[in-house]
Amino acid sequence: MEERLQKVMAARGVTSRRKCEELILAGRVKVNGQVVDQLGYKVEEESDQIEVDGKVIGKVSFKYILLHKPTGFITSASDPQGRKVVTDLVKNVKERVYPVGRLDYDTSGLLLLTNDGELANRIAHPRFEIDKVYLATVKGIPSAQALHSLRNGIMLEDGMTYPAKAEIEMKDLERNQATIRLTIHEGRNRQVRRMCQAVGHPVIRLKRIQLGFLTLGNLAPGHYRQLEPSEVDKLRKLFN
């Protein structure tokens, strides 16, 4: 069966489909030994040999990992400064998996890792509006006006945020702090922390508890599990 070259490349875990198109246009892709630098080229998935920068890319066994990230790890596959990275926590997985989006060094919670580049890019892209649910323990007790601001969008230095869902989960009057359940679908750098700071309630602790329909369940910090095939299918259907 013939498929567009960039679609097959993305399906084999090279990178996103858009970046595969850039590789093709740059003349870095060969099919059966011949350079292909035009979009729209179709290949026979089962028989044609595809090379990227001289390396043959074969079919990939995709892995989908749900990790409960602890604080003290950076969301990366490696770090030149020698800090601990989330991939250090994923043992006995021979495929190289990469984080989908990011959680800050001092943020814990649900993080996906995969070698499926196309699905990863769709999950991370804000236009697909995948809900991300956080529990933010903040200084002070947010007022109704503060919650209203979070729900209606806040002007940050990089622009207005989309409306969010915000509810107080718990109040600790003795410590003068509260836990807010905050749902967003963007993925800006340190967004939840900046939103809470903007309404006068700096974050003390932050944990992501849900991504779309996926939840942490009883998964302990530092532990992970592979997604069930039914969960992967359900994720894919979100983008059809």
Whichever domain contains 220, its CATH number is 3.30.70.580
Query: Do 233 and 122 fall into the same domain?
Result: yes
Number of structural domains the chain divides into: 3
Query: Do 97 and 75 fall into the same domain?
Result: yes
Neighbours of 163 (CB within 10 A): 14
pLDDT in tens, 74-132: 998 778 888 899 999 998 888 888 899 889 999 999 999 998 887 888 888 777 778 99
Query: Do 111 and 226 fall into the same domain?
Result: yes
Q: Tokens standing for 28? A: 């870095």
Query: Do 121 and 144 fall into the same domain?
Result: no
Q: DSSP label at 88?
A: G
Is 104 among the catalytic positions?
Answer: yes
42-51, 54-63, 119-128, 178-187: which has the minimum mean pLDDT?
A: 119-128
**Residue 89 and residue 73 in contact, taking contact as beta carbons nearer than 8 Å:** yes
CA–CA distance, 94 with 92 (Å, rounded to integer): 6
Query: Do 83 and 101 fall into the same domain?
Result: yes
Query: Do 152 and 191 fall into the same domain?
Result: yes
Catalytic residue among 37, 53, 104, 106: 104
Query: Do 105 and 223 fall into the same domain?
Result: yes
Whichever domain contains 189, its CATH number is 3.30.70.1560
Query: Do 29 and 148 fall into the same domain?
Result: no
Q: Which of 119, 123, 110 is nearest to 187 (CA)?
A: 123
Q: Which of 34, 56, 78 is the last residue of a domain?
A: 56
Query: Do 114 and 219 fall into the same domain?
Result: yes
Q: Tokens standing for 55? A: 């390396």
Q: List alpha helices for 116-190, DSSP H.
A: 117-124, 144-152
**Residue 63 and residue 74 in contact, taking contact as beta carbons nearer than 8 Å:** no
How much is the pTM?
Answer: 0.78
Bridge partner list, 224: 67
pLDDT for 169 beyond 90: yes
Residue-number span of the structural domain to which 218 is assigned: 64-126+214-237
Whichever domain contains 20, its CATH number is 3.10.290.10
Query: Do 89 and 189 fall into the same domain?
Result: no
pLDDT averaged over every residue in the chain: 91
Q: Which of 4, 1, 61, 62 is nearest to 31 (CA)?
A: 4
Looking at this protein, which amino acid is placed at residue 210?
A: Q
CA–CA distance, 155 with 19 (Å, rounded to integer): 31
Output the CA angle 220-236-150, nearest 5 degrees: 65
